Structure 1
Amino acid sequence: MSSKTWLITGASKGFGREWTEAALERGDRVAALSRSAGAFDDLAAKYGDAVLPLQADVTDRAAVATAVQRAVSHFGGLDVVVNNAGYGLFGTVEEVTEQQARDQLDVNLLGPLWVTQAALPHLRARGSGHLIQVSSIAGVYSLPGLGLYHASKFGLEGFTASLAAEVKAFGVKVTLVEPAGYATDWAGPSAVHAERSAVYDDVRAAMARPAGKRGDPGATRTAILRVVDAEEPPLRIFFGPAPLPLIKQEYAARIEEWERWDDVSRAAF
């Protein structure tokens, strides 16, 4: 199988770092994008021109366009574009501030949009390529206390499903990766927490549960390589064993409720 050229956002840690290293280790090339200068010095020393460190904020559309063009110019094209940059915003819908809400959507929803828009003309021109959008199990069901995070991931899922249908005829493949809980910075240093209101203490108490096992981000290396190497990759794939049984229950409950109210739905037409 021929080597691939990747562009990965949020490549300095978590899934982004793991997948950057996995790609480089097998002889691929990676344009590794992060907000942090010097985040890839060790990789550049080890892999030389096979890695192109890029510094940009995904919320800056112009900077994203420049970074994508630099990657294309450096490597001569792109095969895989991974929108991985993102973070979690913890707080009830009432608690989050306007700025927190805007920042969450800017990074998790609009950031992938800007990268996608910048990369697509190059992929279309080649008649090939694979866009990987890192969503979450939080993109297919919701929990209290993460409303704006869910909004960002549901939005990502929505535009990506449309995108997949729009670009299929151009030979461009699209996949939503929906991880379960992993030991990344998502709930740690990268997280933002809204100021808590005491009126929601009971809601938080009801949701509190012992911390379960969190997945090892390194364990996703083989999975992501199988996805990008597949002749017919999935539009959606869970990473981790927990999501599928949970989502089966969630969707069964939705269908049951829709059917229970179907007479009202029909009367409304």
Structure 2
Amino acid sequence: MKAYWYDNLPGDQREPHDSGREVSIDQLSRVGVLYYRYPDLEQVDALATERSYKNRDVITVSPGVMGDVYESKVKSFFAEHMHEDEEIRYIRDGKGYFDVRNEGDEWVRILLEKDDLIILPAGIYHRFTTDESNFIVAMRLFKEEPKWTPLNRGPDVDVNPYRQEYVHKTLKLYLVRRLKRMDAFKVEDLGYHGVAADAPPNGSDGAAKQPEQTTSPGRARHELKVELPSSCDPPGPNNPPKQLVWIIFGATGHIGRSLTSCALRHNDLVVAVGQTHVNPPASMQNWHPNCLGTLCDVRTRSSVEAVITKAIAHFGHIDLIANCSGTAIIGACEDQDEHEIRNQIETNFMGTLNILQLSLPYFREQAHGRYLIFSSTTGALGVPGLGPYCASKYAVEGLIEALLYEVDAFNIKATLVEPGLVRRDDPDQPEREKIVGTGLPLYGHFLIKPASEPYSNPTSPAQHYKRMVQWLGDRQPTSVVKSAELVWQLGHCSFPPLRLLLGSFAVESIRDRLRCVIEEGEDWRELNWPSEESPGAGDEKEEKEEKEELDRDEEADDDVKVETTNS
């Protein structure tokens, strides 16, 4: 037996489709699939008796036995389906592939050969195919009356009681146990309470009782449906998501951390990148089995290059890069010194440029790639108290918009994500603290520069943004969890937009800004394109008409002269 992640690449279903990433027997057991190797039929009989199996048959799948219907039969076996009873598959001769869905709804391929036996729980989605030898002899065992008829996956089968029981008993129980071992996540995030660490495994008598449901805030937060417009072709039944490899710069910030959690929940692979001057190396370790933690200073090209090299070496390739890293100081433009201004420009703009320039050659070579660059509403409108930060985000906006035209021919996409007033997902953290090495107080995720005397009045426009974040506290209107889900969908959709605005504040403020620009342009347009009502416009029109009439008269005179000469 050999189990591994299915590679999801085009090709005949009977090809190996080996991604090179193995799946252990323990990992199979977590989704209820059990494996045994039994050379003797007596061992199978004992297992069948122990598990109360009553029915069995032997089927030979090959062109020699099935004749002309072989190809159609193999295609039908490969349709994704489930059965309403636990089943045993015992290989008597030949070999074939069983594909099963894991807890992330991704395919795991299991190669079975002679004497291999697997037990599939009721309700698990799976499919079967022969390998390229086109020959297998298998014994099929069911507990109750034979239920050979497959229930092909669809909306009606998703709510089948046996499917629902499997999801609750096996998948959610496994996820809860895994989350309990991870400090970065909370069990309540699944809306799942009261599950003991020693809860009975799937198949035992105690497991028949479904886990207690709840309407906790965590459950509501994660079960709330948010989806990109259909014009984007977001991930779903018509666009099944594939497992992608992410690099997320700024993964320790409140948005980056939520995006990392979301991608991992969806079974993607993530390189989570923290900040070398903020996060200790130990804090980036053991986040998740599908996550590689590392550190980087985006201002330094060699540091960014090392992350890209490490990601390719660990996961084999990169599908998309999200840059959530950034720094901001609240303070009047006059009050911020050169170091503080340069640090914002070099982190927010030059850091983005470093990421782009060092990863583009790789994306061009593999002929696909995607960038999700976190900008801000401040990249579309100036905000008093955030002047240098706005300048850095304006620069990022122009950079990405220009880049998109340059790289579209290489099948490389880029989207500017513009969140507005996003809540932190750790409200229990003390509101005020200090970032090591700056001496500046931190409010939310902004550093605050003490105001000089000309700007120290509490009602000064330069203190506008400071007043706003202090007034909002942790009551910002935009959910970081919903935002992360939409950005994850953005990474998997077929037709990403240039800009994604997150939250009503972002939409309203940017729309108002654009309206002001248009109105102002209309107010002053007559300086370059005078209207007919403007002074002097009528005289100008008359002069133009007189000139056109003179030109016509001259052309007529020339025609008369030509005719006279010919006569």
Q: Same fold (TM over 0.5)?
A: yes
| 2:284 counterpart residue number | 40
Q: Distance in 2 between matches of 1:206 and 1:191?
A: 13
More helix per residue: 1
Q: Which residue of 2 aligns with 1:199?
A: 454
Alignment check: 8 A CA contact 2:248 2:272 kept: yes
Pairing of 1:144-223 with structure 2 (within 5 A):
144-184=384-424, 188=443, 190-200=445-455, 201=457, 202-204=459-461, 207=464, 208=467, 210-211=471-472, 213-214=475-476, 215-223=478-486
Give the alignment partner of residue 224 of structure 1, picking from 469, 480, 487: 487
**Larger Rg computed on CA atoms:** 2
Match of 1:77 in 2: 317
Q: Could you tell me which residue of structure 1 aligns to residue 508 of structure 2? A: 245
CA distance in 2, matches of 1:38, 1:239: 32
Deviation of the 1:205 alpha carbon: 8.0
- Greater RCO, 1 or 2 (C-alpha within 8 Å, sep 6+): 1
C-alpha distance in structure 2 between counterparts of 1:113 and 1:98, whole Å: 21
Q: Do the aligned partners of 1:77 and 1:122 also contact (CA within 8 Å) in 2?
A: no
Gapped runs of 5+ residues in structure 2? 1-240, 432-441, 531-567
1:261 equivalent among 515, 524, 533: 524
In structure 1, distance between residues paired with 2:340 and 2:328: 11
Residues 1:220 and 1:189: Cα distance change in structure 2 (over 3 Å):
closer
TM-score (norm 1): 0.91
Q: C-alpha root-mean-square deviation of aligned residues, in Å?
A: 2.1
Matches of 2:248 and 2:352 in 1, distance apart? 11
- Which AA in structure 1 matches 2:345? L
CA distance in 2: counterparts of 1:256 and 1:154, whole angstroms? 21
Distance 2:267 2:395 in 1: 34
The residue number in structure 2 matching 1:16 is 256
Aligned AA (1:156): V
**CA distance in structure 1 between the partners assigned to 2:462 and 2:517 by the alignment:** 25
Name structure 1 gaps, 5 residues minimum: none
Match of 1:91 among 327, 331, 341: 331
**Post-superposition shift, 1:76?**
1.3
Greater alpha carbon shift after TM alignment, 255-264 vs 5-14 = 255-264
CA distance in 2 between counterparts of 1:2 and 1:227 reads 13
3-state SS of paired residue (1:226): helix
Looking at structure 2, the residues matched to 38 and 218 of structure 1 have their Cα atoms a distance apart, in angstroms, of: 26
Cα pair distance change 1:53/1:205, threshold 3 Å:
closer
Matches within 5 A, 1:96-111: 96-111=336-351
Q: Deviations over 1:176-216 (max 9, x none)?
A: 00000012499626433333122122424883454273133
Q: Secondary structure at the match of 1:3?
A: coil
TM-score (norm 2): 0.44
Matches of 1:153 and 1:100, distance apart in 2: 15
Q: Which segments of structure 1 move beyond 4 Å, counting only runs of 4 or more? A: none
- Point out the structure with the larger strand share: 2
Residue matched to 2:266: 26
Distance (Å, rounded) in 2 between the aligned partners of 1:178 and 1:227: 13
Q: Is residue 235 from structure 1 mapped to residue 235 from structure 2 by the alignment?
A: no
> Could you tell me whether the CA contact under 8 Å between 1:177 and 1:237 is conserved in 2?
yes
Moved more, 221-230 or 187-196: 187-196
CA distance in 2, matches of 1:83, 1:192: 20
Code of the residue aligned with 2:481 in structure 1: it is: G
